[in-house]
Chain A
């Protein structure tokens, strides 16, 4: 199984953070940037980790590992890997917010998220599954610093 991933090319990243805007928008309830930022609370977190120490910067997210440490550590079974697509996702309804995945992931890919119902869950990149062909971050990057391959 060869899964496509989003690879950061930090030499091309200029730190505009449009990938985060796209990520937040595409995962928001409305799918609308202004609404996602101004009307929806708590705001959907970006599933991308943008890091910067000028002039170096890049965006980085889940590697959708072949044998995901997060999945092994998950005590509730919320994390699954699709046997066809290889995409690793979290079922927020099953997640109990134990943060074992945050402990286990060597890529630091997971984040805490507060849901509308105030439940705390883990969240991470889902490669925009079911939301179009290309991940939104890749489409949004004006400098092609993110490659989906």
Chain B
């Protein structure tokens, strides 16, 4: 029997993998939240008023748990794991046994020990319940301060702005979205946000959340004694792995739960996946946290297969973000802003007035990262080039083209993507019988394609 703690994307990835190979094995999912799995990042659209609650909750269609024969336990927080007895214990006192356990408890907001962090009207923004609280309070306030100019902070800013709240963002680094953007991309989006009336303070360190004298917030104080007013404060500095039960259970942790390439922890039969796990990276040697949605699914899937005895290896996490803010689409991936420039090659095209920017980073003639602002068409092809470690030296000059596509790849490379990955050579030769009346000089079946049969 398989027990999964946590009920978001990594859990879903695991369930879907398990049920592809084993329709029978009992699966129990335990979640501290009161909801079925929901599209967590969609809470920003919910706050904006663009998506309704039902839409969030349709991340998997109605009947998902029943159809997959999953026992779902909500409102139950696991506080300890006893690997020797193979059971987990909830805050309520309930105990659940397992044969294989998946920890997919995600992350929780990181809250530094600011003075005033426990005041009334200090919020975070990572769950549906957080969002509901923010929506409620946004009706009766005028100003909000958001601490943290990362993805969560900016999405909270966009949502609150849409609710008619005057928003200020305070960011410690020299630019917003420092993980997903370089300085140029950051400033394009910053300008756009300033244009719509959002105040952004970069290189600004928060010292204290200020009390209005009644136990509620009135703003924050920055280093240098500058004060910024706000009726609420949203702390959006980032998330940290949510595994308070790991250490006492003997599960090895760094910043997150350390897992091998099967997503298994140092304790046999205990796996971890998603934002709580620290797994191998695709472009780096060391294990790292990578709290992004697509990789949480992939990790969950790898864990799921391995838990039912089908060996799957995690190919390594690749950071990528698709972020749309105030009508500007952006996608970035991989190593887009290396700290030490040595060994890297940079291609870029900036059209600031049009809010457009493309930057591609190469190392040893291979794409290792990129940032696209404004025009994001076919960004995935570049992610594919990173993953496949394609040598781009013969078409490097084409990479910045607005309509870059497979036509710019060498013939062999695109044939590989068109059909060789999916078909046997003999199947492809069958293509030829489809139109026997027409035999061009230059065909798919010439030279090594037929030889390889």
Point out the residues of chain B lying under 8 angstroms from A106, CB to CB. 380-381, 383-384, 387-388, 417
- Given the complex of chains A and B, what is the CA–CA distance between A76 and B53 in angstroms? 12
B322 touches A99 (CB 8 A): yes
Point out the residues of chain B lying under 8 angstroms from A107, CB to CB. 380-381, 384, 417
B440 touches A11 (CB 8 A): yes
B422 touches A5 (CB 8 A): yes
Min CB gap B115→A, angstroms: 35
Q: State whether A72 and B298 are in contact (beta carbons under 8 Å apart), knowing that A11-B442, A94-B58 are contacts in the complex.
A: yes
B 374-398 contacts with A by CB, 8 A: 376-381, 383-384, 387-388
Partner of B42, one of A60, A96, A108: A96
Binding site for B on A (CB under 8 A): 5, 7-12, 49, 51-53, 56-58, 60, 63, 67, 69, 72-73, 75-77, 80, 94, 96-112, 143-144, 147, 149
Q: CB-nearest residue of chain A relative to B446?
A: A11
Q: How many residues of B contact A (CB 8 A)?
A: 57
B378 touches A72 (CB 8 A): no
- Given the complex of chains A and B, what is the CA–CA distance between A76 and B39 in angstroms? 5
Interface flag for B33 (CB, 8 Å): no
Point out the residues of chain B lying under 8 angstroms from A97, CB to CB. 324
A11 touches B42 (CB 8 A): no
A12 touches B435 (CB 8 A): yes
B41 touches A75 (CB 8 A): yes
Per-residue interface assignment for chain B, residues 390 to 427, with 1 indicating a CB less than 8 Å from any chain A CB and 0 otherwise: 00000000000001011110000010011100110001
Point out the residues of chain A lying under 8 angstroms from B301, CB to CB. 67, 72
Q: CB-nearest residue of chain A relative to B38?
A: A77
- Given the complex of chains A and B, what is the CA–CA distance between A38 and B449 in angstroms? 44
Min CB gap B357→A, angstroms: 16
Point out the residues of chain B lying under 8 angstroms from A104, CB to CB. 294, 320, 380, 383
Point out the residues of chain B lying under 8 angstroms from A103, CB to CB. 320-322, 331, 333, 376, 379-380, 383
Min CB gap A27→B, angstroms: 19
Per-residue interface assignment for chain B, residues 74 to 87, with 1 indicating a CB less than 8 Å from any chain A CB and 0 otherwise: 00000000000000
Interface flag for B229 (CB, 8 Å): no
Q: CB-nearest residue of chain B relative to A55?
A: B442
